[in-house]
Amino acid sequence: MLSRLRDLFTVQVPVSNLFDSADLSLLPCDPSNHPLNNRVTSPSALHTTAIPSATSATSLSLSSSSGALICESSATHAPMSSSSGRGAPALKSTTLAGVAEFMKTKNCRNVIVMSGAGISTSAGIPDFRSPGTGLYDNLQKYGLPHPQAIFELDYFRKRPEPFFTLARELFPGMFKPTTSHYFVRLLERKGFLLRHYTQNIDTLERVAGIAANKLVEAHGSFSGNHCINPACRKSFDQLWMEDLVFAGKIPRCDKCEDLVKPDIVFFGEKLPDRFHKLVNEDFGACDLLIVAGTSLVVQPFASLIDLVGQRTPRLLINREKVGQADPMERMLGYRGGLDFDSIENVRDVAHLASCDDGFLELARLLGWEQELVSLVRDDHERLAAAAVQTSAQRQARRMSAADHQMAAGETEKAVDTITAALVGMTVAENAAEASHAEEARSATGRHALGGAGSADIALKQTASEIASVVAHAVQAADASEPAAPAPSK
């Protein structure tokens, strides 16, 4: 019986439908190199399986045409209610206004937001593929074998320079969060936010003030850094990485000398454990799923939309419709993906607009517009003031590093001078000994004493020079040391 159900709910989905080369999420994926696709021996098809059960659980799996499992996710749905399972539709209309009306009811308590690069583009973060201005074009001077090589661990080991060039472009502190980020923060403030799942690596969610326990960075971020040596894996903080990146240096581990990489998921690396753990906990409890600024093609992130209850409302805020199953697949029984246009749709809403405009309109419908606008304005002012201070601190750290380098140079010079002086001193000592020996043999003692006196004078001068050089080196080293912090009161 189970095998018959599996056959009924199994369809072959072309790889091109799952992985789109035009995807603009901040961790772009190429079908042939995606970490979850690296075991597909034939690119002709993937098998997507959805098996319902009497316990209201859904299991999703991706496997290759040869049968090898690529990824598998499951979630236990919430008990049958207005937002999951059978019963009256949760939305009175499949519009943004219908979603806002639902959010005002007691049935909407747990909101999950899934986001991609679209929520950050208005912050000024460049995308990857725009001709002439995209980051990939700007990295071509490094002669990448293909654009995605910048996120391949093997290539990073050989040539880390392109990645750290990109890191300077995207490093936290360079950009301010957008209206979209602050809407998510407003959801948290008002007690609606169950979790925010993001594909982005720009950490703008953190900058916007969204609590870390409410955030799942599916593709990692710049907030942590580790040595790539599996036997080492020493951790380094963000400030350490920032100083090296902006100084144009390649970060290396001070323990094993291997490269240090931000905790961003590269091709071939597994997603964070936190992602897998919370997916299984969150999606069954979701009352409303909001998807914004993502093309929904990067797996396994894209499949998360199918893990909520069968009638849980799903809102897409994007410039175009994405995440829809092919009509032929639906005819064959595949019920995954978003369904905006069929007559059966009672829960999926597509609001086609920029993410910022869409969230601002939703805030207006909820009566939150002024609160959202004020939150954006006030926090941007705070961040602008903090940016001035951060820039000054960064400059001070660079100057301090330069002073230390200068002091090191002065010390090296001093060592060279002392070495030369010691050589001179040895020569003078030898000359003095020779003069005293000559005195014993010379008939004219006066000349011998004069030679010995000259040698003694040379020794005294050399010793004086050494003392002066040492004092200068000590003074330079003291000047380069940072001032001791004032004692706390």
pLDDT, one tens digit per residue, over 231-269 is 999 999 988 998 999 889 999 999 999 999 999 999 888
Q: Does 256 carry a binding-site annotation? A: yes
pLDDT, residue 60, reads 47
pLDDT band (50, 70, 90) for residue 430: low
pLDDT, residue 127, reads 61
First to last CA, the chain: 74
pLDDT, residue 405, reads 56
Q: Does 253 carry a binding-site annotation? A: yes
Query: Which tokens go with 401?
Result: 């590093």
pLDDT band (50, 70, 90) for residue 214: very high
Q: What gap in Å lies between CA 226 and CA 264, rounded to an integer?
A: 10
Q: Does 232 carry a binding-site annotation? A: yes
Half-sphere exposure of 268 (CA within 13 A, CB side): 10
Cβ 148 vs Cβ 162: under 8 Å? no
- pLDDT above 90: percentage of residues in the chain: 44
Give residue limits of the domains in the chain.
75-125+175-219+265-367, 387-480
pLDDT band (50, 70, 90) for residue 86: low
CATH 3.30.360.10 fits 75-125+175-219+265-367, yes or no: no
pLDDT, residue 4, reads 37
Which of 147-156, 210-219, 243-252 has maximum average pLDDT?
A: 210-219
Cite the DSSP H helix spans in 257-368. Answer: 273-282, 327-331, 355-366
pLDDT band (50, 70, 90) for residue 357: very high
| Poorest-pLDDT segment among 148-157, 337-346, 366-375, 413-422 | 413-422
Q: Does 71 carry a binding-site annotation? A: no
pLDDT, residue 204, reads 95
**What mean pLDDT value characterizes the chain?**
75
pLDDT over threshold 70, residue 48: no
Longest dimension (CA), the chain: 128
Catalytic residues: 219
